[in-house]
Amino acid sequence: MRNLNILVDCHVFDQSYQGTTSYIKGLYLELIKDKTKTFFFISNSYNLEEIFKNHENVKYLKYSSKNKFYRLLIELPKIIKKNKIDYAHFQYIVPPIKKCKYIVTLHDVLFLDYPNYFPFLYKFSKKILYKFSAKRSDIVLTVSEYSKRQIQKHFKIQNIYMTPNAIDKSFFDSYDKEKEKLNVKEKFGIENYFLFVSRWEPRKNHDMLLKVFVENGYFKKYNLVFVGVQAIQNKKYDDYYKTLSDEIQRKIFKLKMVTFQEILMITRAARLSVYPSIAEGFGIPPLESLASNIPTICSNTTAMSDFNFMKDFLFDPLDPENLSNIVKVALACKNFEDKKTYVKQNYNWELGSKQLKKAILENIITE
């Protein structure tokens, strides 16, 4: 009997580092240890072999086009048929022409929970595509209890498997803090900074963090670094930023296209990691910075309300004064080692990989 063939759509690796790339990387570095399955990883330009390495049960494919419509409508069905794929795993959206069984991960449906933070066309199209993908798929995955409840509520789908996000092991490695600070200064010209890692959307709350940074005078001593590409424009941030003096603007840095190694370096060199997002399906960056033993504070809403172990370092993302007070608490704290230990014990990819293997096995049994 031949191995089960699983195709993993990795087109997100062709973009900048983000939560979905971390999810695929962590999940499948564990899953490829299962030699009863053959894995086909596919992207357009990213060298996936750098991540997953050479294994007898791993094969690498290339998309011929970066066009998402061509990829979904034409190229993927052909690739699936040619390689005799049994299961194909996608993030959010699956191809409409079905040539094998589908696995889809819906990380969140926040556009339905918080519609005021999303443009109309975005909400309209995503609702149709996500619901279609969930109904079309044989296995539906998500990353948190919060997201599971909301997907069940909005799409009336009950059988959802949890493959919770975890942290790349590199974040737990020991490192030379001063050396990493020097590396960041040499590469980006930045030092002594607050860090926020996230793509740009209004719900991410970049504007409130900027206001707190400016109006509480943190700019006098620190820089503020945003890492992430823009998904949806945040006009409130843009309008406020324009009112700032040149002196303050020079203390604010926006980094877009960064590699995994760069984000690891930037995280390690940070003075404080802040995650002020109003709504999330999970929230990986604060766990990554805790794994690096960086002082970290985080919003207490949606999926992040599950981070009870952070206690005194959680804040209300709609309360600027609360955020500023928690910043002071975190800056005064000398050791986050206990939280690093908790993250290591409770957020690992072995749990997620076991859940996905269970989902596939149960799907095969019920055929």
Instruction: Provide the sign of the torsion angle of the four alpha carbons 331, 333, 337, 343, taken in this order.
Output: negative
pLDDT for 334 equals: 79
CA distances in angstroms from 129 to 137, 155, 281, listed in the order given: 12, 11, 18
- Cβ contacts of 81 within 8 Å, gap of 6 or more: 99
CA distances in angstroms from 276 to 6, 118, 212, listed in the order given: 37, 17, 11
Helix (H) or strand (E) holding 274: strand 272-275
Instruction: Provide the sign of the torsion angle of the four alpha carbons 50, 256, 233, 316, taken in this order.
Output: positive
pLDDT tens-place string over residues 295-328: 999 999 999 998 999 989 999 999 999 999 999 9
CA distance 48 to 207: 35
pLDDT tens-place string over residues 177-230: 999 999 999 999 999 999 999 999 999 999 999 999 999 999 999 999 999 989
pLDDT tens-place string over residues 343-361: 998 898 998 999 999 999 9
pLDDT for 37 equals: 96
Would you give the end-to-end CA distance of the chain in angstroms?
Answer: 17
Query: Taking the mean position of all CA atoms in its chain, how far away is CA 94?
Result: 19
Helix (H) or strand (E) holding 173: none
- Cβ contacts of 5 within 8 Å, gap of 6 or more: 37, 38, 40, 83, 84, 85, 86, 87
Using 70 as the pLDDT threshold, list the residues of the chain that sit under it: 1, 367
CA angle in degrees (0–180, nearest 5) for 287-290-293: 160
pLDDT for 335 equals: 82
| Tokens matching residue 125 | 């199209």
Q: Would the pTM count as exceeding 0.85?
A: no
pLDDT for 279 equals: 95
Domains of the chain and CATH, by start: 4-166+348-365 (3.40.50.2000), 169-346 (3.40.50.2000)
CA angle in degrees (0–180, nearest 5) for 137-156-299: 95
CA angle in degrees (0–180, nearest 5) for 35-19-185: 115
pLDDT for 367 equals: 64
